[in-house]
Structure 1
Amino acid sequence: MKSVRPTTLQNFHKKNGIDQDRIIIEPQSWNTYENAKYSARIIRKNDFDEVLLITSALHNKRAKACFHRQGIKPDIYPVDFGGDSEIEWQNFWKPAIKSLSTNHQVIRETVGIMAYMVMGYM
């Protein structure tokens, strides 16, 4: 799972004709907890009624919980499902390098959820 810095997304939106006045970038955070905390300040300061949280499908449970912990109830738009469009029965039994990457992502997210729960971030 790759992380994309907010300015990269802002440039993408601008290049694709999305009205920049409708997008607010939170550039300070280095993790999901900080993103929820700093975003909540922006949301409250601007008195926004609706918020769209765009995050990877794998990460959306932790992100949503962090925002809820801050009192923000965003609509969730999961992206980067990372699944294969082609499923064959042979792939269920033969080892593949891609499986290691997928397992790493799932383990990382599971450990992240447990750590965030212990730390009270979600």
Structure 2
Amino acid sequence: MIQTISSVKERPELTDSADRLLDAVRIYKAKKAKKILFTGGSGLLFADKYREADLANKILLDLGVPKEDILLERESKNTYENAVESAKILNAHGFKDIILVTSAFHFRRAAGCFTKQGIVFYSYPTDYRSFSTDSNAFDLWVPSPGYLELSTLAIKEWVGVLIYELKGYL
């Protein structure tokens, strides 16, 4: 959700998945959560200087979340590691259940990884990438690069689910 290799380092750049971060803040400000645990390292194999959690921390602070209510997991590189590292932090703080906020298209894999780590959670899927076909919008039926991107995202996620199942992460 945050571009870790942006050329503008003093201002974190959000990506299409920014709903994850914004909905976490909404949940926090609605007093449904006492803390925000943001999980995410660099996600890149060879360029790990900038960690997504560090950039998210700046945004969370800018949005008014007090520093003492922000927990950061900054070592993970993938969803499985997000769950493993988050479990360590949650256990250290004695948290028994959480609200898992992630993209709807990614929820199956994330939920499987967090369940495998014994984390009890309430589901909060966000960042939906689906469209209403009853809108009669002509654009829904015309090929576009955006729809190709959504197809690629779906394929990547299904391959991820298959690989995670084969590796025993789910």
Q: CA deviation at 1:93?
A: 3.1
Q: Which residue of 2 aligns with 1:7?
A: 54
Q: CA deviation at 1:92?
A: 4.2
Q: Which stretch has the larger CA shift, 79-88 or 98-107? A: 79-88
2:87 to 10, 28, 40: 40
Q: Which residue of 2 aligns with 1:98?
A: 146
In percent, how many aligned pairs have the same letter? 34
TM-score by length of 2: 0.64
1:114 to 162, 165, 169: 162
Gaps of 5+ in 1: none
Secondary structure of 2:72's aligned partner: coil
Query: After superposition, what is the alpha-carbon deviation per residue over 1:23-50, rounded to whole angstroms, capped at 9, x for unaligned?
Result: 2111000000001001111111111123
RMSD: 2.2
Is the alpha carbon distance of 1:13 and 1:98 closer, same or farther for their aligned partners in structure 2, counting shifts above 3 Å? same
**Equivalenced residues, count:** 122
Q: Which residue of 2 aligns with 1:75?
A: 122
What is the rounded CA distance, in whole Å, between the counterparts of 1:75 and 1:12 in structure 2?
Answer: 24
Q: Which residue of 1 aligns with 2:66?
A: 19
Q: Which residue of 1 aligns with 2:105?
A: 58
Gaps of 5+ in 2: 2-14, 18-39, 41-51
TM-score by length of 1: 0.86
